[in-house]
Chain A
Amino acid sequence: MFGKKKKRTITGILLLAAAVALSGCSGARQSADNYPTKPIELVAPYSAGGGVDLVMRAVAEYLGKEWGQTITVVNKPGGGGAIGAQYALKEAPKDGYTVLAVNNSNTTMLTAGSKNPAVKLEDQIFGAMIAGDALAYAVKADAPWKDFKEFSDWVKQHPEQLTWTSVGAAGFSSFGVAEWLNAIGADFTKTRMVTSKGASDSVPKVAGGHAVLAVHTVGEMYAMAEAGKIRILAVQSPERSPLLPNVPTTAEQGLPDLAVKWWTGISFPKGTPDAVINKWQDALEKMEQDPVFIEQLRKIHLNPAYQNSEQFVKTINEETARSTEIAEKNGIRK
């Protein structure tokens, strides 16, 4: 009796293993008409719980229902988003079953910050922009500065005492900080950057007093600000954030020209079949009208910001030019 049971267990394990292995090689030969025929990996190159990750989880949930296939968000953090991008664009098969989440950090700013970026814009096909958010400046809850202006003055006086977090020298936060420091006339090169893996890594560092400033999106820092662990001094958007009605904008505090903002979208490795990309685009466009999805984004304090492939590429090109200027001026470009 027991021999039978064991045999069954072993057969089970083998079947499971075979299924895992086979699913890996059958996709490329499938036509795109019935795409997707197996689970899709959506690579988020940042840590779980960050903005990109949360948006992609909402996308995965919507598309999973829409297509009747599992879409798994795989977090591959590190290297300012380069490690996950490298995996999705170079190592994985280009059959539409591995898709990359992009944002400023692993596209425009990476290109601006490096003469030879690990991930190149021309290696990928930009599918669509999905969501956007304003940038916010946060310090420790009991920090001595009463507003952003006072903080800016202190930084101007003591640039060497400013430690700020960023996913990398050419990360999203670096461009925000550089643009701001240029505007207030402080010396960017005297401040100290601390590399972090994303907002969920930087915010505790600021809350614990290990770094002075964190520059991330409102959505990423809202919860910790509400919990009283950090204090948000300014929001960088034309109007005040509905989440933080008491926090003045950077423009209100005398800095009208700060433009860096955050967005996230989807890209595919070059070589992915057109039919697959079109299918994604159509589905994403429909998704952005879906009240359930919009509600999902609201829950993580973000707004839909749909741009189709064409508009998305235009945005990326403009932002790359502007970012390259900031990078060259502040010695970020290496």
Chain B
Amino acid sequence: MDSLNMLLSGFGEAVSPLNLLIAALGAAIGTFVGVLPGLGPTSAIAILLPMTAVIAPDQGIIMMAGIYYGAMYGGSTTAILLNIPGETSSVPTCLDGYPLAKQGKAGAALGVAAIASFTAGLIGLVGLVFFAPLLADQALKFGPPEYFALMILALAVTVNMTGYSLVKSLIMGAFGFLVSFVGLGASSGVPRFDFGIDSWVGGIEMTSVLIGLFALTEVFKGIEEKRAAVKQEKIGRSYPSLAELRQTSGPMLRGGLIGFVLGLLPGCSPTVTSFLSYDVEKKISKNRARFGKGAIEGVAAPEAANNATSSAGFIPLLALGIPASPPLAVLLAGLMIYGMEPGPLLFEKNAGFVWTVIASMFIGNLFLLILNLPMVGLWAKLTKVPFQVMGPLILLISFIGSYSVRNSLFDVGVTLFFGALGYLFHKFHWPVIPFILCLVLGPMLETSFIQSVQISGGSLAIFVTHPISLTILVAAALLLAVSIVLMQRTKRRLHQEGVHELEIV
């Protein structure tokens, strides 16, 4: 009941005109980048990080969260109309969505996708309201060794998130740590790894690295691919018929539940659940042959699943500090920039903030339904924006953004450097997420490790003699195993559907 009260007061904050505007803006930008070729939620959040520093933390996070789940809605638009999955989690949506569009039923498919996303978003959020505080109730039991174990858990599940080889992921993670060490020591205050260069003493600005790795890299990729606008199918009416709704209500609920339950597992990405729910629908359908040729259930289930997973992903993010997907990893960086360290204590120390953000996520989902049902035709036209316009624009915003954080040209150089590096990583198939995560969590991992050995007087046994810490470490090992199995399955399915290039996110 306590969390319901908190949620109500969160709503009180969330309906202030400014917060409503921010939520709407986030939802709109999210849909925009989800629809737009060449700009995903991860790069959008990274670019906007410095700008959101101007507004208050809760508004910044409301906006970034809006971008995140807005992009999930928007991604279905390109999948259905153009057969282009902006994110790997939209691949299953293409399978039946595009055939439907070719049959002139694009509107119905888009409508079902929007409604499925909304339903599942709500399932995820209700779950968030009830589950997160359960974890947070244990807050005081979490001391340094427990936090250290949590960080290990986060790293264990995310090394495998992108489905690359474990060794490559570990190397990238270690590289991320190295970069996070540069500057003044997190608990000693002594400069280190600065090579005597003045501008290194203040550390490498996380925002600049993120903008480089995500936004700039996207532009470089676009230049190489000579991206062109694609012809799209007609939309037709955008409201599904009653019969279609009845037909898809089951798949929506099942997809939402699968997405939510698996989404609670730290590190389980929307791609995993959207494929799983698609396959489940196909398996239990009486009419298996229709799948792949325009079965509307095949749109509803994966769309519901990936949105439920996205919402559920906020539970491990806020309550444990574990991001389930790259956009959430960048969001985690956003929280850290605001000094809001995610973890069980976040609910104790910043309760007002957390509940305002959660409440505005309900509102944001409502905005998205409005944006996506009557206005879907408008968004669809956006897919025609040529890369010649988008590319330079992204570059410009990126440079201004990274300069503005500390008013430092050095940071723009950092952005350029990591943009180039990110392009090479992509080209030679090195995973970026372990790098980002270690960069973001590095200082926290370091601090909790130092605190733990300070408490124990130098003994490492503290991590296994504390029951909670031991449990988390064991869970980390188990989850690593589970995620390897799930990831292999998802990889196999991606290959079966002829997708070899996309990173699994």
Contact = CB atoms under 8 A, between A and B. Distances in A.
Contacts of B142: 208
Interface centre among B188, B345, B443 (most CB of A within 10 A): B188
Contacts of A5: 378
A234 B335 CA distance: 36
A21 to B, nearest CB: 5
Interface centre among B378, B401, B404 (most CB of A within 10 A): B404
Contacts of A280: none
B144 interface: yes
A171 to B, nearest CB: 9
B187 A168 contact: yes
Contacts of B378: 2, 5
Contacts of A168: 187-189
Contact of A80 (B189, B381, B385, B451): B189
A205 B451 CA distance: 10
A200 interface: yes
Contact of A195 (B349, B403, B447): B447
A210 B144 contact: yes
B143 interface: yes
A24 B53 CA distance: 14
A6 interface: yes
A48 B339 contact: yes
Contacts of B203: 83
Interface stretch (A12-20, A29-37, A172-180, A248-256): A12-20
Contact of B51 (A17, A80, A91, A200): A17
Contact of A208 (B141, B184, B397, B404): B141
Contacts of A92: 406-407
A163 interface: yes
Given A168-B188, A194-B451, A210-B143, A47 B345 contact: no
A49 B345 CA distance: 13
Contacts of A17: 51, 396-397, 400-401, 404
A192 B454 CA distance: 7
A163 B455 contact: yes
B403 A79 contact: no
A10 interface: yes
Nearest to B138: A208
A204 interface: yes
Interface residues on A, range: 35 or more
A54 to B, nearest CB: 13
B333 to A, nearest CB: 15
A12 B270 CA distance: 32
Contacts of A210: 143-144, 455
Shortest 5 CB-CB distances between A and B: which pairs? A79-B189, A210-B143, A82-B189, A208-B140, A75-B339
A51 interface: no
A110 B183 CA distance: 18
A196 B455 CA distance: 12
A332 to B, nearest CB: 14
Interface of A: 2, 5-6, 9-10, 13-14, 16-18, 20-21, 24-25, 47-49, 75, 77-83, 86-87, 90-93, 118, 160, 163, 168, 192-197, 200, 204-205, 207-211, 229
A20 B52 CA distance: 11
B455 A200 contact: no
B56 to A, nearest CB: 9
Given A6-B382, A78-B187, 7 more contacts: A17-B404, A49-B350, A78-B443, A80-B189, A90-B202, A192-B454, A210-B144
B403 A21 contact: yes
B450 A195 contact: yes
A22 to B, nearest CB: 10
A118 B455 contact: no
Given A79-B185, A90-B202, A24 B407 contact: yes
Contacts of A14: 393, 396-397
Interface centre among A14, A118, A207 (most CB of B within 10 A): A118
Contact of A207 (B140, B186, B447): B140
A20 B404 contact: yes
Interface string B194-216: 00001101110000000000000
Nearest to A113: B189
B413 interface: no
A204 B348 contact: yes
A246 B58 CA distance: 38
A321 to B, nearest CB: 22
A17 B378 CA distance: 25
Contact of A79 (B140, B186, B393, B408): B186
Contacts of A207: 140
Nearest to A195: B187
Nearest to A44: B339
Interface string B347-374: 0111000000000000000000000000
Interface string B456-496: 01000000000000000000000000000000000000000
B10 interface: no
Given A18-B400, A204-B140, A93 B184 contact: no
12 contacts: A2-B381, A79-B189, A82-B184, A87-B202, A91-B199, A91-B406, A118-B189, A192-B455, A195-B187, A195-B451, A204-B348, A205-B143
Contacts of A192: 454-455, 457
B143 A10 contact: no
Given A21-B400, A79-B184, A196 B451 contact: yes
B488 to A, nearest CB: 39
Contacts of A86: 184, 201-202
B263 interface: no
A173 to B, nearest CB: 13
B139 interface: yes
Contacts of B201: 86, 90
A95 to B, nearest CB: 10
A211 B455 contact: yes
Nearest to A5: B378
Contacts of B338: 48, 75
Nearest to A49: B349
Contact of A194 (B339, B340, B404, B454): B454
Nearest to B353: A48
Contacts of B339: 47-48, 75, 77
Contacts of B400: 17-18, 20-21
Interface string B302-341: 0000000000000000000000000000000000001110
Interface in B143-171: 143-144
Nearest to B32: A9
Contacts of A204: 139-140, 345, 348-349
A90 B202 CA distance: 9
Interface string B413-456: 00000000000000000000000000000010001001100110
A174 B139 CA distance: 26
B54 interface: yes
B289 interface: no
A48 B450 CA distance: 22
A105 B375 CA distance: 56
A160 B345 CA distance: 28
B191 interface: yes
Given A163-B455, A196-B451, A24 B186 contact: no
